[in-house]
Structure 1
Amino acid sequence: MSTETVDAPAVKREPKPRKGVRKWFHEHITKSFETFGRQLGMFVQVFSVLVTDIAKRRFPFREFVRQCAFMASTSVFPTLLVAIPIGVIVSIQVSNIAGQIGATSFSGAATGLGVIRQGAPLVTSLLLAGAVGSAIAADLGSRTIRDEIDAMRVMGVNPIQRLISPRLLATMVVAFLLCGFVCFVGFITGYVFNVYAQGGTPGSYTGTFASFAGTSDLIFALVKAVIFGAIVAVVACDRGLNTSGGPAGVANSVNAAVVNSVLLLFTVNVVLTQLFALVIPTKVV
């Protein structure tokens, strides 16, 4: 007798819901809001401690001066190297567009306003995030994994008062000074390149810039730089104080500090630029 094999009917398997992707997305969104809330709370706490300590004359000025010197020495030369190409690039692009529409005499106004309103604050903040923010996160992260922060709390020393507030104020002061420096270097670079490389007229460059630009533009750029400096300091300090996982955790904190700072800086820059456009009307000549 021949035996015949009968295949079992194929069982249709329904695809399982991708719980892993949804769980991952939910966790990351939740952690993002938790991180933002923690950083916002840290800023309020540090700012209140900073004002109180200055008013009561117990602010650690020696640590503040040391941090200012370190931040300035770390970021001034890279800022200079970035400010010069920024001025040249803006001058080239603006001059090309102005030449196409027959408005070469307005190159000075467009170049100067582009550098002052957007270029200088962003260059300053990005260099602070890359050089200063990473150094702050690495320093505080190393202190955290060595249990120095916990030891300070046990001894009754407030890390916010002793470590965070001097770094916050130092970053804001250095950002203010660097922004003014970038404004000057960017304008001079654009002027030299436009006059001597593109055949522009010195009088029209400075004249149109003085006609369209005002004191409010420079003040707005400096205010943005101070706000950006505070964001860099708070994000770096928060990531450093919440470091875990040994030396690898310090590297992750540095990376997260730079990435979070850049994302927040560009987001806040859009909001501030829109507010400035609504509050300060465009100057018409």
Structure 2
Amino acid sequence: MATSAASRTGSGASTTWARGYLHRHPGAALETVGRQVIMGGQALRYLVVDAAAGRFPFREFVRQAMFMVKTAYLPTIAVALPISATLSIQFGLLAGQVGATSLAGAAGGLAVIRQSAPLVTAMLLAAAVGSAICSDLGARTIREEIDAMEVMGVSALRRLVVPRLAAGILVAMALTGLSCFIGFLAGYLFNVYVQHGTPGSYLATFSSFATTGDLVLAMVKAAVFGTIVTVVACEKGLHTAGGPGGVANSVNAAVVASMILLMVVNVGFTELYTILFPRTTL
């Protein structure tokens, strides 16, 4: 009887906790998204205002940009190569099945520029750079350095977040361009030397179907993705609580939230571009 009563008590406590969590979680999620939107808007405004007034922390911007490049460029190349080869394999097989092997270059190249390059770059920025930014700001927060800055009248948003935001946008666009080049080169080499495609056909179809708008779309995606990764990481880091364990939790939450937002925004960008700029012919 005692065991049965204890079991019912434990079950009741679990049910109460689950109901309370489901009640609190949507509100906490909305509050977090609201803070991120407000922080992103303020950081972009301060970026423009400080750059125009000559108060932009250029040295911190350069330091953060160099750190981001050193952290992310090798993983970007390492991931872009196999993904481009995989896309080349799949599109080559599909083109061969429908008798359109000459279009393998166009299909693979467009997939790399439109989808693979900006998304791969953003995900690696979220995993490598975003986690580093969040852990750095989170450690400063639990050591009360951020509070000390605010007490002295130094805005942590303008001094810490704005240069990281500018560096994240610039590095995301640069690495997306690198990823486009690496992806196209890998697809070309794989199609020509492994699938025995024709080099002239690959280049001709790619140059015929790829437009400047595709590269512009990739760069716009990269800028937006870089903004998302940086803002989410900074917001999680600046609102860290609970000591060293809280820093680890913030880093985990920042990476997961960034990945989810990147996927959702990528779907929106793709659908919007397809609607606004439809392809009338292949």
TM class, shorter-length: over 0.9
* TM-superposition CA deviations, 1:132-166 (whole Å, max 9, x none): 00000000000000000000001110001100000
Match of 1:55 in 2: 52
Deviation at 1:23, TM superposition (A): 2.0
Matched, 1:112 2:116: no
Q: TM-score, normalised by structure 1?
A: 0.93
The match for 2:258 is: 261
Asked whether 1:64 is paired with 2:61, we answer yes
Q: Which amino acid aligns with 1:257?
A: A
The question of 1:248 aligning with 2:245 is answered: yes
Q: 2:37 & 2:95 partners in 1: Cα distance?
A: 43
Deviations 1:211-237 (A, max 9, x none): 111000011011101100000000000
Matched, 1:26 2:23: yes
**Counterpart Cα distance in 2 of 1:169 and 1:155:** 24
The question of 1:275 aligning with 2:272 is answered: yes
User: Of the two, which has the highest radius of gyration?
Assistant: 1
How do 1:31-180 and structure 2 match up within 5 A?
Answer: 31-180=28-177
Cα displacement string for residues 111-133 of structure 1 (whole angstroms, at most 9, x for unaligned residues): 00011100001100000000000
Structure 1 unaligned regions, length at least 5:
1-12
Q: Secondary structure at the match of 1:59?
A: coil
Match of 2:195 in 1: 198
User: What whole-Å deviation, never above 9, does each CA across 1:150-209 have from its counterpart, x for those lacking one?
Assistant: 000011100011000000000000000000000000001000000011110011111111
CA distance in 1 between counterparts of 2:248 and 2:77 reads: 27
Alpha carbons 1:212, 1:283 under 8 Å: kept: no
Q: Structure 1: how far apart are the matches of 2:222 and 2:95? A: 29
Counterparts of 1:155 and 1:20, CA distance in 2 = 41
The alignment-based identity, stated in percent, is: 57
What TM-score results when the alignment is normalised by the length of structure 2? 0.94
Q: Distance in 2 between matches of 1:61 and 1:16?
A: 57
The alignment partner of 1:127 has SS state of helix
CA offsets, 1:12-43, max 9 Å, x none?
A: x9x97944333211211111111101100100
Number of residue pairs matched? Answer: 272
Task: Give the Cα separation in 1 of the matches to 2:40 and 2:229.
Answer: 11
- 1:283, distance to aligned residue in structure 2 (A): 5.3
How far off is 1:282 after superposition? 1.2
Letter in 2 for 1:210: S
Match of 1:211 among 208, 211, 220: 208
1:284 is displaced (CA, Å) by 2.1
Asked whether the equivalents of residues 145 and 244 of structure 1 are also in contact (C-alpha less than 8 Å), the reply is yes
Report the AA paired with residue 52 of structure 2: A
Aligned 8 A contact 1:212 1:284 in 2: no
Equivalent-residue separation in structure 1 for 2:227 and 2:116 (angstroms): 18
Per-residue CA deviations over 1:220-265 (Å, capped at 9, x if unaligned) read 0111011000000000000000000000000111100000000000
- C-alpha separation between the residues in 1 aligned to 2:272 and 2:60? 35
Detail structure 1 runs of 4+ shifted over 3 Å in the superposition. 15-20
